[in-house]
Structure 1
């Protein structure tokens, strides 16, 4: 027996745990964070009519889920009539997948959209894509993981893969800093007026606003990019000051103005896995154990103002970040997705010694 539920958050949260089991690399966002994202608190949505979410139970057990939502800013900027799906997690059950995908299609079609594209959790600047390779590799925080059967379930329902992407991992213990920026050049750049703005709990709000300005300028011409408002950015980064390690993020100024930023956080997935992504009384104990042993970090954003690209600002902040990560005891650093068409970023990533981790694609379907 199959039952489709709409806006039933309890089954939506539980579905991937039942669909995938404890032995897979899947890690859920914190339950409270996920609930906050899927609410009218999220400034991405003007009201509740712009999103919904579905889950499916088979014999009373939740085994699949999906969101259906609109990104009005993206459609307006790129002149599209596109709906989005996200958080598509499903057991290897074709019937359940069809029920979920048809529910999303019908909802999006009812909003007048002509195309359905995903995964977006919930925008292109957050987690994006369906995994198509690297299934045995552990994801970092802010990376999607899905099992090998998801692409086949989508294709069986008329979705086609496109826009290939790759996430990366760099070993700092076996592959420490390649000579990206010699010390002599570093000193010359600092003498010219480049400096590092302090990233601390006291300055985090100011540094995040620096990062937002850099994000909006540096990603302006990237496909699917939509400028991020201050409200959206700070909603997503709400708890950043509590989880950040101020030693490993870098904001570069030139004569007092922000020109580049690399925002990195410790990889929280080992902690989330231990607590089941739920607030528990044992959280302080688990957090202290995690904090004492953490050795993985993830870069969630990296960018340089266009007028400073090619002027060594990026090598300056990356070499500084790498040096400080090693000193702080981090052995591995992950990065979020880079599109195949972004050849400059791919070359830069490979030059830094990173290796491919996961392969992803968007999947889309024309709605007729």
Structure 2
């Protein structure tokens, strides 16, 4: 058994080696993964020493990986002293898992942290959690997938499951707009004070600026959320301007100001899987094929300005948006994750006929 630190090629290859060919897991594009862990390019890591990449090898074969990192803004805002692990992907191998987890724990302990938690890939506004149920369902892009043994190996290593979440899927062909069209929604849709902002290629930069504003306002009360700076949002949303299908993202304004957004992208997992998560001369061809075959989309996030919460704004948006998505050829839409204590979002899932896909938990351990 060999533990390596800083071997990016092995870190990228680990889930392919650990899970084999038939896994539902889909890796981020290699180029994206590399920039996530590039000092100075990712605003989360402005200087060396804020993260580490570990891989474990048996007889020369990569059998697992894990990252360890810090998020100072999160600790400062939420008054915690927590380090984070992410990208924990390993074969069903207790020794390999223990080696990786020990490496991440030692890294965190040496820096004075009293808790380690994950998966965070890399923040609460990116992929989070470890799957604990729903393994039979195919994940959408930006939805975490991990096989059943990952949660078991964490529990066997002394980790506690917490912060339960679910992902959801809405069947657009079964959605009935009348199910969420009440008096409040009708008033919004008929009032001249409200209007849907244009989303075209020309307007996308402006809409993305509004997306950050609405994200920071609407999510301000959510646990673990840390407001994104313009630099951080631009880094995370770098590819969105090319990925967004303008027909399926919606922004609504109230009295001329951004009020709510549903940021939606096509499900790119079939494209990413076809490329094996690497750029090549065939990548444009795979992208075009996926362009004509795509039937699934993902809500990256949906957010209503804080002062407009509980006024039916999101429901009013979805009355228009979901039928428009169906008209554009989409059949299903996925939701990244909803915390079990987020009663408002869970109620909305019920209204939309959302079907639970995956069960997720975060895992933590005292150091």
Q: Same fold (TM over 0.5)?
A: yes
Q: Partners in 2 of 1:301 and 1:125 — Cα distance?
A: 9
Task: Work out the CA distance in 2 between the residues paired with 1:176 and 1:271.
Answer: 30
Map 1:12-23 onto structure 2 (within 5 A).
12-23=11-22
> 2:247 is paired with a residue of what secondary structure?
coil
- Map 1:248-267; keep pairs closer than 5 Å: 248-267=248-267
SS of the residue corresponding to residue 213 of structure 2 reads helix
Match of 1:215 in 2: 215
Q: Is the 8 A contact 1:178 1:353 kept in 2?
A: no
Answer yes or no: is the 8 Å Cα contact 1:66–1:86 preserved in 2.
Answer: yes
Q: Which residue of 1 aligns with 2:81?
A: 81
- Quote the residue 1:332 is aligned against: 332
**d(CA) in 2 for partners of 1:360 and 1:304?**
25
Partner in structure 2 of residue 95 of structure 1: 95
Residue deviations 1:2-50 (CA, integer Å, cap 9, x gap): 1111111100000001111111110011010010001111001221211
**What CA distance in whole angstroms lies between the structure 2 residues aligned with 1:316 and 1:31?**
39
Aligned residues: 366
Aligned pairs for 1:291-330 (under 5 A) are: 291-330=291-330
What is the Cα-based RMSD across aligned positions, in Å? 1.5
- The answer on 1:189 being equivalent to 2:221 is no
1:190 to partner: Cα distance: 4.0
User: Aligned partners of 2:198, 2:232: CA distance in 1, in Å?
Assistant: 23
Q: Where do 1:41-52 residues align within 5 Å?
A: 41-52=41-52
Instruction: Tell me, yes or no, if the aligned pair for 1:263 and 1:301 is still in contact at 8 Å.
Output: yes
Distance 1:196 1:16 in 2: 42
Q: Can you list the C-alpha shifts for 1:241-290, whole angstroms capped at 9, x where unaligned? A: 11110100001101210010000000000111111011011112111111
Q: Distance in 1 between matches of 2:10 and 2:234?
A: 28
Paired position in structure 2 for 1:32: 31
Conservation of the 8 A alpha-carbon contact between 2:65 and 2:90: yes
- CA distance, structure 2, for counterparts of residue 175 and residue 143 of structure 1: 22
Q: Displacement, 1:309?
A: 1.8
SS in 1 for 2:173: coil
SS at match of 2:191: helix
Cα 1:177/1:23, change in 2 over 3 Å: farther
Output aligned runs, 1:150-169, within 5 Å: 150-169=150-169
- Please give the alpha-carbon distance, in whole angstroms, between the structure 2 residues aligned to 1:322 and 1:183: 19
SS across alignment from 1:63 = strand
Tell me, what secondary structure is at the counterpart of 1:173?
Answer: helix
- How far 1:173 sits from its partner (Å)? 2.4
Q: Counterpart of 1:346?
A: 346
Unaligned runs of 5+ in 1: none
CA contact (8 A) 1:39 1:48 kept: no
Quote how far apart the aligned CAs of 1:203 are.
1.5
SS for the counterpart of 1:123 is coil
Instruction: Give the drift of 1:310.
Output: 2.5
**2:175 and 2:316 mapped to 1: Cα distance?**
18
Q: Is the 8 A contact 1:31 1:277 kept in 2?
A: yes
C-alpha displacement at 1:214, in angstroms? 1.0
Alignment of 1:203-242 (within 5 A): 203-242=203-242
